[in-house]
Structure 1
Amino acid sequence: MAPYEALYGRKCRSPIFWDEVGERKVLDSTMVPWIEEAIEKVKIIRQRIQTAQSRQKSYADYRRKDLEFEEGDMVFVKVTPLRGTITAKMGKKLKPRYIGPYKIQRRVGTMAYQLELPASMSRIHNVFHVLLLKKYHPDPAHILHTEDVELDETLTYEEQPVQISDRKVKELRNKQIPLVKILWRNHDVEEATWEVEDDMQKKYPALFGN
């Protein structure tokens, strides 16, 4: 039972379905064209939603078909570096990196694999969704050694800044905000990010020296 029906003891009647639920009522002739137009718009919206869902499903099915591994294959596991600043709480992330490679022990269901992990990763569950795995193709720029980062159970780790490469001031209507461009450990120069200088000074005072 819908909340509206439980509260008022009858089903909710929207303008579109006035003639389908409950007693029929004579509608003003001026309302009929508006209702017909609304019904047509709803049909168009539903068709577009179905089209979008079908497109997304086709893409997802295609991706799943490509991401299939065999027992004994070597794969990387995707990990997500978070910037250790206030902006990290807002969900801003750096480019994902991969750790490994690790050997696949067995397939679990249709969308997951159990990996052979080192003892240093014993607190991390060793079954991973297929979308977190990447077939082993050597690429040193995207591989991390687990001893270089401190992973948590969600496969994220806090990245550390190594250098300030530039400065600028962001002009707002009533104030100015000093920004610094930060180079992050394990990331290329192209991935440097602009951060609020005050936040970085509080979090990483050693970065600013004297």
Structure 2
Amino acid sequence: MVWLSSKNIKSTRPPKKLSERWLGPFPILKKVSTHPYHLKFPYQWKSIHPVFHISLLEPVKTSTIPNWHQEPPPPIIIEEEEEWEVSQILYSKRKRRKLWYLVEWQGFSQDPERSTWEPAENLKNFPELVKNIHFYILTSQAAIIQELDFLWCLVGRGITKGKFHSW
């Protein structure tokens, strides 16, 4: 988990000095190269490119107070069963013909090790979160396909790697 500097991100707040200096925290999806990192943003941030240089990121620091940790919220009791509230769905995958989702639980967002893989039938009460993760994955895949199509067109026209920049 990392904090993202708001230095280059436009805000709707009129005075910049009252805006947050750090946004997040956000989980890291992957290390792209030596310096850029790909972050997992919520659906509402779909218009912001999720790859950032390491200089704009700050690791989330855990408490330095010994033997102290924040207690997660208690489970909700529904029909004599414990239920936990879903914070967000981070990813999805298919395993043995079943759809599974990586779930971040409310109150455990600072601890990525507490995220669990849950079968789709366990998330029937969260259709909006399921829809958002599928939309995020589809748009990410569409962007990759579009970039590959562009590069394939350049290769087809005989433009070599040294003659163009991919920015």
Q: How does the TM-score come out when normalised to structure 1?
A: 0.25
**Which protein shows a greater Rg?**
1
Of Structure 1 and Structure 2, the greater helix share is in: 1
